[in-house]
Amino acid sequence: MDTQQQVLRILDEVLSLAGRSAGFDRDTHLLGAIPELDSMAVVSLLISLEEKLGITVDDGEIDGSTFATVGSLTDFIDAKLAA
């Protein structure tokens, strides 16, 4: 499973999207486009990504652009995994 597939699976699980993430691609907008992705959901999503992918995300590393699209989030996770 590639990183994007893992990110989509975790998004679907954390946001209770009931499979809607299967239709998402790199250009799918997240913040502001998916009502379920509010500030509390971002925290839950980060915790889940950290736990499931074995990464650590510091508060200063993220901003709104990280969650702009599926691609920007996947690229951020890929960089964390490569570090």
The model's confidence at residue 1, banded by pLDDT at 50, 70 and 90, is confident
CA distance 51 to 35: 24
Q: What is the DSSP string of 45-79?
A: HHHHHHHHHT----GGG--GGGGSBHHHHHHHHHH
Q: Convert the pLDDT of each residue in 18-63 to its tens digit.
A: 999 999 999 999 999 999 999 899 999 999 999 999 999 998 999 9
Q: Which domains, and CATH codes, for the chain?
A: 3-82 (1.10.1200.10)
User: Per DSSP, what are the bridge partners of residue 75?
Assistant: none
> pLDDT tens, 9-20?
999 999 999 999
Euclidean distance between CA atoms 20 and 31, whole angstroms: 15
Top pLDDT among 1 and 68 is at: 68
Query: pTM for the whole thing?
Result: 0.94
